[in-house]
Chains A and B, each alone.
Chain A
Amino acid sequence: MTSFPLNDDSVVVIIGSGAGGGTLGTELALKGVKVVILEAGPRIEIEDFINDEWASFAQLSWSDKRTTSGSWRVHKDFPNLPAWIVKAVGGTSIHWAGASLRFQDHEFKARTHYGNVEGANLLDWPITLGELAPYYEKAEFKMGVTRTNDIPGLPGNNNFKVLEAGATKLGYKEVHTGRMAINSRPRDGRGSCQQIGFCFQGCKSGAKWSTLYAELPKGEDTGNLEVRPESHVLRIEHDGSGKVTGVVYADSNGKHQLQKARVVCVAGNSIESPRILLNSASNQFPNGLANSSGQVGRNYMRHTTAAVFGVFDKPVHMYRGTTMAGIVRDESIHNPERGFVGGYEFETISVGLPFMAAFLDPGAWGRKFTAALDSYPNMAGLWIVGEDMPQETNRITLNKDIKDKFGMPVPNVHYDDHKNDISMRNHAYKQATALYEAAGATHVYQQTPYPSTHNLGTNRMSANPQDGVVNKFGQTHDIKNLFVSDGSQFTTGAGENPTLTIVALAIRQADYIAGEMMKRTI
């Protein structure tokens, strides 16, 4: 395994090894660029994954202390767990379900199409679907997305059958088993889906794409990539000219280390990435790095989410097979006649009994609640994922009152639903309920949103440096050799799952960084 010295200032240092950082690091290594990835979590391989919800949660999830505020339900139910994301090599690409949808043309131009939505800090992306399309193609090929590149769709499981029956009866047209980065047949040295379930707990067959085993080893094989686990980044350092020069992290023994760097890329997910920039404040940058716009940490988005479970008089066993086994796309349009801007997808979801108990209606008890759990085998489930509005006041800030074990302020996540978010969720609840009733449901449960896996927007892309943190290549407006490489660079959230877009942007960013390094502009 390659190992670069701490004082090697020729390396690109990437903070985080998930869909953004892991892809970027591998792509750069394949181009001959020397890369050190600092990953806060341990390296946990496929054979270590656990088909057990709570045990897996303890093994994989980011459980460092965080605080919350705002009127969102998560603040009440899970005050110290705003997000359900992973702290391990591979990041949340271990946990994601695999749904790989391109954003739509109008979603890159949200401000233009949605207009001036009161209270929303909408902005058009500085790139178009046309500009990103070649990179979407590369990402789909790399990840082996079904229904692209002549890769067949996955077979539908029981949960999908119910979704499809209800959706078809409601008149929905675009209903299928999704575009999934899960092998429907062996590909890229990985086998095909065994319908294990437990996609959220790490795919034990390796059929689902994750940077852990589908990207990083390819980068490491070049000799140009070192992945350094249990390296928890505290701050980024800079010199008097305003260029970043290195990254300070706590190693597995808690000892502080300084890794020098030619370029630094932040890919720690949308809570940790702005936290690192804010925690890197200096005399020269008193409000944090790359924050001349004041937008670092702002416009936090989490998608307008919720789940709906239909109960039937016969068994479904929704947990058998892929978690996100099918999709309905008809509502993923911009049609303000529905009472809101933007659109949403329905995607099947399943959880095991332990998480159904914990998340169905947090805090509920008594016979009404237990009757729901008693109907568990007869449940079918879907997840709503829709575009939420960026709001300046929804933001990550440093909680100066609470320090982590390294003495750094913990992040506070503030979120209030925008009224557009509420209208969209209510519309989706109504449609999902109708869908399951059309399939014969005897009862439908509308579940409240739980901790976010789609965390977006807190270092957003903008054409104008005053409106955001990074340019269309994820390069910070303020500091040329500092980049953002995760979902925090999203200008708006769109209605689709974010991973494919994160990967496409990372591939594009790798081209840009390698090119700029060649030109010696960075």
Chain B
Amino acid sequence: MSMQGDHHTSPDDLDRRRFLKGSALLSTSMFIVGTALIHPGEGWAVEATGLKPATMQTLIKMARDIYPHDQIADKYYAIAVKGYDQKATQSSDIKTLIEKGVAQVDQIAKERHNRVYTAIIDESPRVEILHVVEGGPLFTMLRAGLIVDLYNQKELWPLFGYEGESASKGGYIRRGFNDLAWL
């Protein structure tokens, strides 16, 4: 899978996301054309090669539901899970684990809500489905991978108020190591 398009989220994009948040549009903000998963709101598209594009869409949604941060664009969740598409091209075991796991998630979603996981608009019924599968191999692999592959994206750190590397900037000795004045 390759990421295409503009990877930079502009303030306009964030405003649009805030506007869309909670509306039905948010959950359908990605759509599939052929093997491509397209996110017009954020201006990116991915090409699925090892997994079904709908499976990638579900993984991205599951990733957000496992570690939900409203300030984070979908593309970061997409980046965090895109490695599975590549792994699926190399390992039929991984491919089967993921496709079966996603099929199970969709099966529960259909039984409960008459639609696939990504089509469930509200977060809480989706999270209830995750609680059903949280002991399973897909969830276990996804969660353990996300804890590194999501939070280790340097582009995300400013959104959490984390500044990262400091030695090349001379440390914080003149950059606020003791600037706290509210106590």
A: residues with CB less than 8 A from B are 49, 51-52, 54, 155-158, 161-162, 165, 193-198, 204-205, 314-317, 319-321, 352-354, 357-358, 363, 365-367, 369-370, 373-374, 376-378, 439-440
Q: Are B165 and A51 in contact (CB under 8 A)?
A: yes
**Can you list 25 pairs linking A and B with CB atoms under 8 Å apart?**
A156-B178, A157-B178, A158-B179, A158-B180, A195-B173, A196-B167, A197-B171, A205-B167, A315-B161, A315-B180, A317-B179, A320-B177, A321-B173, A321-B178, A354-B151, A357-B150, A365-B66, A365-B67, A366-B66, A367-B68, A370-B67, A373-B151, A377-B161, A378-B161, A439-B183
5 tightest A-B CB contacts, nearest first:
A377-B161, A194-B171, A321-B177, A196-B171, A51-B165
- Complex CA–CA separation, A161 to B176 (angstroms): 13
**A197 in complex: contacting residue of B151, B152, B166, CB < 8 Å:** B166
Assuming the contacts A197-B171, A353-B160, asked whether A320 and B183 have C-beta atoms less than 8 A apart, the reply is no
Residue of B nearest to A50 (CB): B165
Contacts of B147 in A (CB 8 A): 357-358
**Pick from A205, A321, A353: contact of B162, CB under 8 Å:** A353
Inter-chain contacts of A378 with B (CB < 8 A): 161
Does B26 interact with chain A (Cβ within 8 Å)?
Answer: no
Query: What does the 1/0 interface line of B145-183 toward A look like (CB < 8 Å)?
Result: 001101110000100111111111011110111111011
Are the C-beta atoms of B177 and A357 separated by less than 8 Å? no
Neighbouring A residues of B39 by C-beta, 8 Å: none
Closest A residue to B72 by CB, please name it.
Answer: A370
Cβ contact within 8 Å between B66 and A196 = no
Does A157 lie within 8 Å of B162, measured CB to CB?
Answer: no
Interface size of B as a range: 35 or more
State the CA gap A193–B166 with chains docked (Å): 13
**Known A-B contacts A320-B172, A376-B161; A357 and B167 likewise in contact (beta carbons under 8 Å):** no
Please determine whether A374 and B160 come into contact, CB atoms closer than 8 angstroms.
yes
The yes or no answer to B110 lying at the interface (CB within 8 A) is no
Cβ of B175: which chain A residues have Cβ within 8 Å of it? Answer: 320
CB–CB A314/B165 < 8 A: no
B178/A319 in contact, CB under 8 A:
no
| Cross-chain contact of A317 among B152, B173, B176 (Cβ < 8 A) | B176
Q: Which residues of B contact A (CB under 8 A)?
A: 66-69, 71, 127, 134, 143, 147-148, 150-152, 157, 160-168, 170-173, 175-180, 182-183
Assembled-state Cα–Cα distance A353/B156 (Å): 10
- How far does the alpha carbon of A319 sit from the alpha carbon of B69 in the complex, in Å? 21
Secondary structure of the A contact surface, majority rule: loop
B95 shortest CB reach to chain A, Å: 24
**Are B151 and A353 in touch, CB under 8 angstroms?**
yes
Residue in B68, B167, B172, B183 whose beta carbon sits within 8 Å of that of A370 in the complex: B68
- Please indicate the chain A residues that have their CB under 8 angstroms from the CB of B176 in the complex: 158, 317, 320
User: Which residues in B have their C-beta under 8 angstroms from that of A196?
Assistant: 166-167, 171-172
B64 to chain A, nearest CB (A): 10
Residues of A within 8 A of B148 (CB): 54, 354, 358
Could you tell me the distance between the alpha carbons of A198 and B166 in the complex, rounded to whole angstroms? 8
- A205 B160 Cβ-Cβ under 8 A: no
B180–A319 touching, CB < 8 Å: no
Give Cα A377 to B182, complex, Å.
14
Chain B residues with CB under 8 Å of A374's CB are 69, 71, 160
Contacts of B69 in A (CB 8 A): 370, 373-374
In the complex, what's the smallest C-beta–C-beta distance from B159 to chain A, in angstroms?
A: 9
Q: Residue on A with the closest CB to B142?
A: A365
* Contact yes or no, B67 A319, CB < 8 A: no
| One of B66, B71, B162, B183 near A352 (C-beta < 8 A) | B162
CA–CA, A353 to B161, complex, Å? 9
**CA of A194 to CA of B143 in the docked complex: distance in angstroms?**
37
| Residue numbers in B under 8 Å from A365 (CB-CB) | 66-67, 134, 143
CA distance A354 to B146 in the complex (A): 11
Q: Are B157 and A197 in contact (CB under 8 A)?
A: no
| CB-CB nearest in chain A for B139 | A365
